[in-house]
């Protein structure tokens, strides 16, 4: 019988280059732990308790707080998802109004559901050609907070999956002027603010709560994450109460040890490791400067993605966002070609681009391998087309009910074209990256139905809550 374990070992030995999470890049020569069975314990004497940390775990979390610049830091073993759920719940009460970026991860939408929250959305501009979300601006936040004076929380994602960093400092100042705390989902930015050459992180930019997946961009094991608290707008007690709900009561010491080792590594060797990483990225940029058909966001020939446009405050250089729109290739087709022809596995594909995730555990060799593969692929493609001047914004559906109100009603599944005009009872994501196109309680317009059909036809995996066919939608039975 072939088990999952067997399959993982075969894959490990297959020579595939991981341009995806986790950030340790499966480099078993550099990142080692003894057989985890020998280290896997529970809260025995001398090993503290994550839910009431006073000993060895408190010390480790304080070390992490110092490194990232937070007042207080909690280890998370259920990923950033658990941190986002706890953070939103710590700042809100049942039925509150909140201001959230539309391009939020599904964990934030789950948090809206949990507390029956009433979302007002901040819609980032889209980046022409790529169609990815740009940044949220302080001006958008100011306008929204002026219009909706009952908002209890502002929540944004920075950096995004594509590495777009918003002006967190200005957004924090704006939110605080209105007395509202700012939560930054920095799941993709645990490596920010730790070394020159990378944008500042949200903790040192004034956010009140910041959630980071250590496993995504740093050398740590999958599911490891951090929740940081800063300032006085959110109490530690409120956060801890929610963590006691959302986080396992048996947190893995192996995972917590991985976070602590990662922090110790960064403290001791971070500077040299980031310097080498920056140098390897610079070399990659030099090698790929001649790409003609493919285009890297914020790099090379295209101006798109430059800071100052589309709400982009900065771009995280670790994300290599490979635009394929000039070439006739879709994002999924590009991902498949690199997999088949070069044994390079990317992180994700959207409609017109794909993302290679790099980390300080990438080597000169791994980045050279990707650069050569892109140059080879580029040479086989048609000459480039001009980028569109603007990207039409995705239609923001009309919200009729909260997510929870809609999900508590009876539903029926209809083909998309018959669902037009009705209220959705489910979420539809383009997956990954997990940005919802419609959520429960919103009305499906004809325009959005067309857009969903277009996405599905271009090969992007559309996923709905039921995991049902992409050309159907579950709507409220009585709507």
With b meaning 16 or more CB within 10 Å and e meaning fewer, what string describes 209-246? bbbbbbbbbbbbbbbbbbbbbbeebbeeeebbebbeeb
Find out whether 362 and 280 touch, Cβ atoms under 8 Å.
yes
Token pair for residue 470? 């992409």
The nearer residue to ligand PLP, 181 or 433, going by C-beta atoms, is 433
Number of residues that bind ligand PLP (CB under 6 A): 15
The nearer residue to ligand PLP, 348 or 416, going by C-beta atoms, is 348
The nearer residue to ligand PLP, 157 or 280, going by C-beta atoms, is 157
217 is a site residue for ligand PLP (CB under 6 A): no
Position closest to ligand PLP via CB: 79
Q: Interacting stretch for ligand PLP, rule CB under 6 A, among 22-30, 89-97, 181-189, 390-398?
A: 181-189
Site string for ligand PLP, 149-168 (x = CB under 6 A): --------x---x-------
Supply the DSSP string of 111-146, one letter for each residue. Answer: HHHHTT-EEEEE-PPBPTTT--B----HHHHHHHHH
Among 213, 242, 327, 465, binds ligand PLP (CB under 6 A): 213
Among 79, 129, 270, 384, binds ligand PLP (CB under 6 A): 79
Tell whether omega for the bond before 471 is within 30 degrees of 0, i.e. cis: no
Question: DSSP 3-state helix, strand, coil percentages of the chain (rounded to 5)?
Answer: 35, 20, 45
Phi, psi of 74 (to 5 degrees): -115, 140
187 is a site residue for ligand PLP (CB under 6 A): yes
Closest CA to 317 of 367, 365, 272: 367
Least distance CB 199 / ligand PLP (angstroms): 16
The nearer residue to ligand PLP, 211 or 438, going by C-beta atoms, is 211
Secondary structure (3-state) at 266? helix
Among 96, 185, 260, 302, binds ligand PLP (CB under 6 A): 185
Site for ligand PLP in 382-441 (CB under 6 A): 433-434
| Whole-angstrom distance, CA of residue 296 vs CA of residue 319 | 10
Q: Interacting stretch for ligand PLP, rule CB under 6 A, among 33-41, 49-57, 182-190, 385-393?
A: 182-190
The nearer residue to ligand PLP, 211 or 423, going by C-beta atoms, is 211
Find out whether 189 and 160 touch, Cβ atoms under 8 Å.
no
24 is a site residue for ligand PLP (CB under 6 A): no
Least distance CB 287 / ligand PLP (angstroms): 28
Cα distances (Å, whole numbers) of residue 82 to 69, 79, 243: 21, 6, 8
Q: Interacting stretch for ligand PLP, rule CB under 6 A, among 76-84, 131-139, 239-247, 363-371?
A: 76-84
Q: Interacting stretch for ligand PLP, rule CB under 6 A, among 93-101, 183-191, 250-258, 346-354?
A: 183-191
The edge-to-edge listing of strands for the beta sheet with 435-438 is 435-438, 428-430, 462-464
Secondary structure (3-state) at 19? strand
Site string for ligand PLP, 98-117 (x = CB under 6 A): -------x-x----------
Cα distances (Å, whole numbers) of residue 101 to 98, 150, 153, 228: 10, 17, 11, 20
Among 73, 80, 140, 327, binds ligand PLP (CB under 6 A): 80
Find out whether 441 and 424 touch, Cβ atoms under 8 Å.
yes
| Whole-angstrom distance, CA of residue 297 vs CA of residue 277 | 19
- Return residues touching ligand PLP (CB under 6 A): 79-81, 84, 105, 107, 157, 161, 185, 187-188, 213, 225, 433-434
């Amino acid at each position: 019988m072939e088990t999952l374990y067997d399959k993982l070992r075969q894959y490990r030995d297959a020579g595939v280059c991981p341009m995806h999470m986790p950030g340790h890049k499966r480099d078993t020569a550099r990142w080692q732990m003894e057989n985890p069975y020998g280290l896997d314990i529970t809260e025995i004497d001398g090993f503290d308790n994550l839910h009431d940390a006073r000993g060895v775990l408190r010390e480790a979390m304080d070390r992490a707080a110092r490194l990232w610049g937070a007042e207080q830091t909690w280890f998370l073993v259920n990923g950033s998802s658990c941190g986002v759920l706890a953070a939103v719940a710590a700042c809100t009460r049942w039925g509150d109004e909140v201001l959230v970026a539309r391009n939020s991860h599904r964990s934030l939408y789950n948090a809206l559901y949990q507390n029956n929250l009433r979302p007002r959305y901040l819609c980032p501009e889209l980046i022409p050609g790529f169609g990815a979300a740009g940044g949220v601006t302080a001006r958008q936040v100011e306008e929204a907070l002026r219009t909706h004076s009952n908002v209890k929380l502002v929540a944004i994602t920075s950096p995004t999956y594509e590495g777009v960093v918003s002006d967190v400092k200005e957004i924090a100042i704006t939110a605080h002027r209105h007395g509202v705390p700012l939560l930054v989902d920095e799941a993709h930015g645990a490596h920010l603010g730790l070394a020159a050459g990378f944008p500042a992180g949200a903790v040192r930019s004034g956010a009140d709560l910041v959630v980071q997946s250590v496993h995504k961009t740093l050398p740590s094991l999958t599911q490891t994450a951090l929740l940081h608290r800063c300032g006085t707008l959110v109490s530690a007690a409120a956060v801890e109460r929610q963590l006691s709900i959302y986080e396992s009561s048996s947190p893995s010491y192996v995972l917590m040890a991985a976070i602590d080792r990662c922090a110790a590594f960064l403290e001791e060797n971070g500077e040299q490791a980031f310097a080498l990483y920056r140098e390897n990225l610079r070399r990659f940029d030099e090698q790929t400067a001649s790409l003609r058909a493919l285009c890297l966001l914020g790099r090379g020939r295209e101006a798109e993605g430059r800071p100052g446009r589309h709400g982009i405050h900065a771009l995280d250089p670790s994300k290599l966002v490979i635009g394929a729109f000039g070439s006739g290739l879709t994002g999924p087709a590009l991902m498949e070609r690199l997999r088949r022809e070069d044994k390079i596995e990317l992180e994700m594909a959207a409609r017109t681009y794909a993302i290679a995730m790099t980390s300080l555990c990438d080597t000169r060799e791994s980045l050279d391998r990707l650069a050569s593969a892109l140059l080879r692929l580029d040479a086989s493609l048609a000459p480039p087309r001009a980028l569109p001047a603007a990207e039409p914004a995705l239609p923001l559906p009309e919200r009729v009910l909260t997510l929870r109100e809609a999900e508590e009603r009876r539903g029926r599944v209809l083909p998309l074209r018959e669902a037009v005009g009705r209220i959705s009872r489910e979420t539809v994501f383009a997956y990954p990256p997990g940005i919802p196109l419609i959520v429960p309680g919103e009305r499906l317009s004809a325009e959005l139905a067309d857009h969903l059909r277009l996405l599905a036809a271009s090969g992007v995996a559309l996923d709905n809550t039921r995991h049902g066919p992409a050309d159907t939608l579950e709507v409220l039975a009585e709507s």
